[in-house]
Amino acid sequence: MFFISVVIENLKEAIIGESNAKRKYELFAEKALNDGFPEIAHLFKAISIAESIHIKNHLKAIEEITKKSVDLNAIVNIEEKILKKQVRNTRNNLIQAIAGETFEFKKIYKGFMKNAKKNDVYLAEFSFDLARMAEIVHSKLYIRFLKKLDKEEHFEDIDIYVCRICGNVELKKIPKICSNCEHDQKFFMKA
Ligand SMILES: [Fe+2]
Ligand SMILES: [Fe+2]
């Protein structure tokens, strides 16, 4: 038997996961800059912004469902020391990021969506699904950059855009509509 509280707990867990990912990518971005890879740092920074959109969406979902305002600090406590210990070299950081994104879209969000569906909490199911699809894009981008790094290909300085609705990330130019949430291109921001 499932209850709506399970869904709220899942939303909170998702917020904690996204908050840690966001901070970790900021640290990975700093490291990539130090390692001499400003373009990889740019990607980490852009995806950290995308994760903050997931945090916002999940928070909004909790507020809509419970009809109460929620304080992010009451849910998340970032252990900066632990995250800093996870920073390795940029190649390893990319691999960690790919593993994290893959775990989120293959396992975490699928399970959360199932619980939300069972309880008819469509708002949560939708928020989980938007994030899940964006994580697939994130993992593909990290894989693409890792391959470039391994082939010692030249990284060009490109524009990176983030969809402010769903956290989708696009390189070089903005599509007419977001392939993830189908919102207009005006909802994209330059990272
Ligand atoms: Fe992500
Ligand atoms: Fe989008």
Contacts of 134 (CB under 8 A, 6+ apart): 50, 53, 54, 163, 166, 167, 168, 169, 180
Q: In degrees rounded to 5, what are phi and psi of residue 57? A: -65, -45
pLDDT, position 2: 58
pLDDT, position 1: 46
CB 98 within 8 A of CB 143: yes
Compute, in angstroms, the gap from residue 119 CA to the centroid of ligand 1: 26
pTM: 0.96
Please report the domains of the chain, with CATH numbers, ordered by start residue: 4-156 (1.20.1260.10)
Rounded-to-integer distance, Cα 109 and Cα 64, Å: 19
Q: Which ligand sits closest to the CA of 163?
A: 2
Compute, in angstroms, the gap from residue 36 CA to the centroid of ligand 2: 31
pLDDT by 10s per residue, the chain, length 191: 457 899 999 999 999 999 999 999 999 999 999 999 999 999 999 999 999 999 999 999 999 999 999 999 999 999 999 999 999 999 999 999 999 999 999 999 999 999 999 999 999 999 999 999 999 999 999 999 999 999 999 999 999 999 999 999 999 999 999 999 999 999 999 99
Rounded-to-integer distance, Cα 153 and Cα 35, Å: 16
Compute, in angstroms, the gap from residue 1 CA to the centroid of ligand 1: 31
Torsion of CA 136, 139, 145, 150, to 10 degrees: -130
